[in-house]
Amino acid sequence: MVEDGRALRFAIIGAGMAGVLSAIKLKGAGLTDFTVYEKADRVGGTWRENTYPGLSCDVPSHLYSYSFAPTPEWSHRFSPGDEIQGYFERVAHEHDIERQIRFGEAVTSCRYDDGTWHVETESGHRDDVDVVIAATGVLHHPKLPDIEGLDEFEGAMFHSARWDHDVRLDGARVGIVGTGSTAVQMVSALVGRVEKLSLFQRTAQWIMPQDNPPYSDDEKTEFRANPQRLAELRANLTQVFDTFANAIVDADSPEMKMIAGMCRDNLESNVRDPELREALRPDYQAACKRLIISPDFYDAIQQPNAELVTEAIERVEPNGVRTRDGRLHELDVLVLATGFKTDAFMRPMDVIGRDGESLAQAWSARPSAYMSISIPGFPNFFMLNGPNGPVGNFSLIEVAELQFGYIMQLLAPLRSGECREVSATRDAMERHEAARVEAVEKTVWVTGCRSWYLDDRGIPATWPWSFDRFRSEMHAPHPAAFEYR
C-alpha cells in the first residue's frame, strides 16, 4: 500500500496533441511531478511531422482545438497545417509545460516492477514513475509501398510525412502515389506550381465537397469580443460531426444515404469529361474508406497539366514510373502518399508488464485494449488514442480529452493510497472486444473496400458505436471492468 495521498510521478510519452493535453491536465490537477518524453525537438506530433503542401485538417479548426483553449484567431474553417502546429506550440508555451519536456529523448523501454514503471530512453536516461501515459499517436510510422525499383529512382523521392523542402517543385514533373486524404490535399496545392502532375490512383475515392472560407476580420473581432459566439460555433460544429459519426456506424441510415448522394452529385456535376468521371468513380459505398473532403480536388485534377493515371504501376525506374501498359511517366519528384502503419502505436518500444509479459506478446495477433485505454496485465499504463478507438472523421482532440478524464478517474484510488495499481481485467477486455466486433457489422466500413481502418482479419479497428455512446462510456469507468490491487 502506498502512503496516503502520495503524489504520483508520471511519464508522458510523446509531445503531440495528446501529450501536450496530458501535461496541461496533470498540471491543472496539481500533479506536477511528470516528464514528457519527446523524440523530436518540438511539440506537435503529426502536425510537426507532416509539412506537405496543402496540409490542413479535415476537422474544422474551431472543433479541432482544445476545449480549454479556444482561439478566435483561426484563419479558415479548415486552417492549414502550419497554423495548427503554431497553435499547439503556443498552447504548450502558455501553459508553461516545455520545461517539463525532454526533447530528443525517444523512450525505448518501459518495464513494470512492483508498482513502478522503469522507463529508459535511447540516450540511456532512466526514470522511475508510478504511471505511464502513452500519447504516441496513431498515424505515425510511414508505410512505404512494395513497388519494384523504388531505390533506383534518380529524382527526389520521399514519403508525404517526410517532405523534403529542399526539393524544387516549381516547374518540376511530380508524381504522387496514392489517393488518400494526403494525396488529395497535395494535388490541389501542387497543380498550379508544377509543370506536370501525375496522380497514380490504385483506388478511386469519394470526395465530399466542402468549402473552406477564410474567417473575415469582422468575424474574428466578434469572436475576440464575445467568447460565447465561439462556444456556440463549437457546439454547432459538434452537432454536425455527431450526425456524421452516427451515420457511418449505420450503413443504411438516411444520413449515410445523404452523404453518399452529396459525393455522387459532386462527381457528376464537377467532372466534365465522361471518361475521367468514370475513372474517378469508386466502386464501393461512400465513407467505406475514410471520407475525403475537398473544395477543389476535381477542379485540380482537370487542369491541363494534371493526369490521373489508373493503369497499375509496374515498377519505378531511374527516370520515372512505368505502368503496366508499358508507358514510362517521366518524373523529377516522386511523392509516396501511401499512408501509415496503423497497428504500430507505441511499438517498437519495448513494454514489459506485470508478470513479465511483453506488449509484443500481448499484441502478437493485433493491438487491443479495453476502451482503447488500458491493457490487462499492464497496470498504471494508459493510452490516449489507443487501438480500436474513434478515429473516423472526429476531432481526435475531443476523443483524447474524454479519455484523459476517464484516466484521471481511474487514478483516484492510486492518489488516495487505496491501491497501488489499476488495469482493465482480461474478461472486460474480451467482452468489450466481442461486442465491438459484433457491432462493426452494421457500419459502413465493412461494406466492401480496402482501407486503413481494417485489421488483418478485415475487421475495422475502430469504435463502432455512436459518439454519444463514447461520451457516455468515458463519463465514468465501470469499476467491475478494472482490477485494483
Neighbouring residues of 252: CB distance < 8 A, sequence distance ≥ 6 = none
- Total number of residues that touch ligand NAP (CB under 6 A): 25
Measured from each CB, the residue nearest to ligand NAP is: 180
For ligand NAP, the binding residue among 182, 188, 285, 388 (CB under 6 A) is 182
Closest distance of CB 162 from ligand NAP, Å: 12
- Dist CA 146 CA 153 (whole Å): 14
Query: Within 288-307, which residues bind ligand NAP (CB under 6 A)?
Result: 290
Closest distance of CB 336 from ligand NAP, Å: 8
Backbone CA torsion sign across 255, 260, 263, 265:
negative
Per CB under 6 A, which region of 171-179, 214-222, 360-368, 403-411 contacts ligand NAP?
171-179
- Dist CA 401 CA 318 (whole Å): 48
What number of H helices and E strands is found in the chain? 13, 23
- Cell numbers representing residue 261 in the block: 448522394
Q: Is 77 in the site for ligand NAP (CB under 6 A)?
A: no
> What are the CA-CA distances from residue 355 to residues 9, 118, 205, 376 (Å)?
22, 14, 46, 11
**Quick one: 346 exposed, middle or buried, by C-beta within 10 A (0-12, 13-18, 19+)?**
buried
Q: Is 285 in the site for ligand NAP (CB under 6 A)?
A: no
Nearer to ligand NAP, 103 or 163 (CB): 163
For ligand NAP, the binding residue among 183, 191, 207, 474 (CB under 6 A) is 183
Closest distance of CB 442 from ligand NAP, Å: 21
Q: Where are the beta strands (DSSP E) in 86-150?
A: 101-103, 107-113, 116-121, 126-129, 131-134, 141-142
Closest distance of CB 210 from ligand NAP, Å: 11
- Dist CA 309 CA 187 (whole Å): 13
- Dist CA 201 CA 178 (whole Å): 6
Per CB under 6 A, which region of 9-17, 176-184, 240-248, 365-373 contacts ligand NAP?
176-184
Closest distance of CB 451 from ligand NAP, Å: 7
Closest distance of CB 147 from ligand NAP, Å: 5
In one-letter notation, the amino acid at residue 37 is Y
Closest distance of CB 160 from ligand NAP, Å: 6
Nearer to ligand NAP, 4 or 146 (CB): 146
> What are the CA-CA distances from residue 77 to residues 135, 154, 211, 220 (Å)?
27, 39, 8, 12
Give, as one character, the DSSP assignment of residue 290.
P
Q: Give the per-residue contact string, 27-66, with ligand NAP (x = CB under 6 A; - = no).
A: -----------------------------xxx--------
Radius of gyration from C-alpha coordinates of the chain? 23
Task: Return the H-helix or E-strand segment holding 255.
Answer: helix 254-270
Q: Is 145 in the site for ligand NAP (CB under 6 A)?
A: yes
Q: Is 196 in the site for ligand NAP (CB under 6 A)?
A: no
Q: Give the per-residue contact string, 242-281, with ligand NAP (x = CB under 6 A; - = no).
A: ----------------------------------------
For ligand NAP, the binding residue among 22, 85, 181, 380 (CB under 6 A) is 181
How far from each other are the two terminal CA atoms of the chain, in whole angstroms? 9
Closest distance of CB 106 from ligand NAP, Å: 22
Q: Is 23 in the site for ligand NAP (CB under 6 A)?
A: no
For ligand NAP, the binding residue among 14, 53, 72, 178 (CB under 6 A) is 178
- Dist CA 461 CA 436 (whole Å): 9
Neighbouring residues of 313: CB distance < 8 A, sequence distance ≥ 6 = 147, 177, 200, 321, 322, 323, 324
Query: Within 382-401, which residues bind ligand NAP (CB under 6 A)?
Result: none
Query: Within 111-140, which residues bind ligand NAP (CB under 6 A)?
Result: 139
Lookup result for grid cell 498552447: 91
Q: Is 100 in the site for ligand NAP (CB under 6 A)?
A: no
Q: Is 455 in the site for ligand NAP (CB under 6 A)?
A: no
Q: Is 177 in the site for ligand NAP (CB under 6 A)?
A: yes
Neighbouring residues of 314: CB distance < 8 A, sequence distance ≥ 6 = 148, 322, 323, 324, 326
Q: Is 337 in the site for ligand NAP (CB under 6 A)?
A: yes
For ligand NAP, the binding residue among 60, 137, 282, 339 (CB under 6 A) is 339
- Dist CA 110 CA 122 (whole Å): 12
- Which residues in this chain contact ligand NAP in the complex, by CB under 6 A? 56-58, 139, 145-147, 160, 177-183, 185, 202-203, 290, 313, 337-339, 450, 452
